Amino acid sequence: MSVINGDPTGRPRTGIPGIRGVAVLVTMAIAVATVLLSGAVAPAPAAAMPLPHDDSFYQPPEGFEAQAQGAILRSREVHLAALTVLPLNVRSWQLLYRTTDLNEQPTVAVTTVILPAGADPNRSRPLVSLQFYYDSASNDCSPSYVLQQGSGLAGLEGIHSQSELIGIAALISQGWAISVPDYEGLDGHLTVPKEPGYMTLDGIRAAEGFQPLGLDGANTPVAMWGFSGGGMSSGWAAEMQPSYAPELNVKGVALGAPTSDVVSLLHVNGSMFSSLVGIGISSLRKAYPKFKEAADRYLTPEGQALMDRTEQQCLPRNAVSQMFVDYGRLFTIPIADFLKVPEVKEVFDSTVLGRNIPTAPIFLYQGVFDEAVPVWSNDRLDQWWCAGGASVSYKRDHLSEHLTLPTLGMPDALNWMKSRLAPNPPDQVGCHTDDVVSMLADNNALLTQIEINLNATFGALGFPIGPRER
């Protein structure tokens, strides 16, 4: 039996073959150069798309509350693009679905579902829910918008989300279906508890019920994956799944540097990552009326104006404009005292992951010297989950920091998901922690990294990647 790029069936792939030597790398490099120099792949023109707040597709239809959680309310085919102009050769749709908000009330969200171009929709496959780190209190920064071809300059406001296309390419190359939920909902609730998990899980339910994907309903093998803010959402989904969506066949959850304690982000105040403080406070201020009343009582007029701007902007603009801002001068009381205000403390306490125990196996990875998400917060998350009986494989990377771990940790995360989504996944029982110099300091991870990058490059150039099944 032949094996091509890890496919034991021997079916040929239309994408990048297994990386086995320098000759292959050289050949691929020449191919890329030839395509770029010849201009063989040109972006197709596309009309500008309306922003989500102006797009009727995002609005819930009358009577949606009576529908089941995860029920599809509306769908449309969409075209995805790198940098909003380079079309991706995949099949993709948006689904508006019924879900649940932080107050346990019916609401709606949108997920973008993706299938390899060569996939046979009559054959079932695993599904991976990929949670982006879009980290904004504005719905106009949602993945469903910034991934669309034709979203233009408005779409490029969320340009950091374009880095997630590498992850999409990695998943598509395996022949899997993908769900990319707008897990902050229509109101941009980034740092709230539970709701991101509900919206992620209902996005999976919606994908499993969407006929063009050809999935096997609740029997579909599922993995969830996210980094940073996306890791936080994935963490909430892992914690909520046993009680909220027990029927889902979740084989594993990969979490990269998840924001497991929102208050822990305060250590970046005054640093190059200081915008995370403003983004977190603005999101909670938007989600909780009592929190907003308390925050506005102690924010200076300048501080209130900054919060108002922050909740309307995407991460890149906030990151640049709030770099090295000292939020201490934007409050009339010390920040430590602000955190003790009852309406504030209650909300922040609710945002801490680790109090509900996942039943799906977990792969947790974290940079020891991460300057945004402190390592102690996820050391504690690992301890809490393990004490509750969860199965956690935890890798602590001593070389990576917050901006490099998404790339350097991706091969290990992908290889772990491949093992979990295999027909007979190996047992992962109990907890273990590995301290490594770098998650990329492994031959298998390094080869996977090269393959991921080549798939992403060819995907951005419009080539189909993944297995050809038709």
* pLDDT at residue 150, rounded to an integer: 84
Contact at 8 Å (CB) between 132 and 167?
no
What's the CA gap between 69 and 108, in Å, rounded?
A: 9
- The residue count for the chain: 470
321 is known as an active-site residue: no
Lay out the sheet containing 249-256: strands in order across. 72-77, 90-100, 106-116, 177-181, 127-131, 221-227, 249-256, 362-367, 392-397, 431-436
Kindly state the DSSP code that residue 113 receives in the 8-state scheme: E
Q: What is the dihedral of CA 426, 431, 437, 438, to 10 degrees?
A: 50
Contact at 8 Å (CB) between 95 and 444?
no
* pLDDT at residue 44, rounded to an integer: 41
Catalytic residue (one of 370, 382, 397, 412): 370
What separation in angstroms does the CA of 121 have from each of 15, 79, 204, 297, 308?
18, 18, 17, 55, 45
Count CB atoms within 10 A of the CB of residue 110.
29
How buried is 107 (Cβ within 10 angstroms: 0-12 exposed, 13-18 middle, 19+ buried)?
A: buried
Catalytic residue (one of 75, 228, 274, 282): 228
pLDDT in tens, the chain (470 residues): 323 333 333 333 333 333 333 333 333 333 333 333 333 333 444 456 889 999 999 999 999 999 999 999 999 999 999 888 889 999 999 999 999 999 999 999 999 999 999 999 889 999 999 999 998 888 899 999 999 998 876 666 767 777 889 999 999 999 999 999 999 999 999 899 999 999 999 999 999 999 999 999 999 999 999 999 999 999 999 999 999 999 999 999 999 999 999 999 999 999 999 999 999 999 999 999 999 999 999 999 999 999 999 999 988 899 999 999 999 999 999 999 999 999 999 999 999 999 999 999 999 999 999 999 999 999 999 999 999 999 999 999 999 999 999 999 999 999 999 999 999 888 888 999 999 999 999 999 999 999 999 999 999 899 998 888 87
228 is known as an active-site residue: yes
Helix (H, G, I), strand (E, B) or coil at 129: strand
* pLDDT at residue 38, rounded to an integer: 33
H helix intervals, 249-341? 275-287, 289-298, 301-310, 315-321, 335-338
Spatial CB neighbours of 138, under 8 Å, sequence gap ≥ 6: 188, 311, 312, 313, 314
CA 37 to chain centroid: 33
Spatial CB neighbours of 4, under 8 Å, sequence gap ≥ 6: 10, 11, 12, 13, 17, 18
Kindly state the DSSP code that residue 211 receives in the 8-state scheme: G
Catalytic residue (one of 92, 233, 402, 412): 402
H helix intervals, 322-432? 335-338, 342-350, 375-387, 405-408, 410-420
Q: Tell the residue number behind the tokens 């920091």, with chain if given.
A: 401
Contact at 8 Å (CB) between 462 and 88?
yes
What's the CA gap between 69 and 122, in Å, rounded?
A: 25
CA 326 to chain centroid: 29
Ordered by where they begin, the domains of the chain are 52-260+360-460 (3.40.50.1820), 262-350 (1.10.260.130)
* pLDDT at residue 63, rounded to an integer: 97
Amino acid at position 196, single letter: P
Helix (H, G, I), strand (E, B) or coil at 97: strand
Sign of dihedral through CA atoms 238, 240, 243, 247?
A: negative
What's the CA gap between 83 and 93, in Å, rounded?
A: 18
Can you read off the two tokens belonging to residue 405?
């771990």
Report the DSSP beta bridge partners of residue 36: none
260 is known as an active-site residue: no
What separation in angstroms does the CA of 147 have from each of 3, 55, 168, 316, 362?
33, 15, 11, 16, 28
What's the CA gap between 83 and 75, in Å, rounded?
A: 24
How open is the CA angle 228-71-78, to the nearest 5 degrees?
65
Nearest Cα residue to 130 out of 5, 246, 255, 312: 255
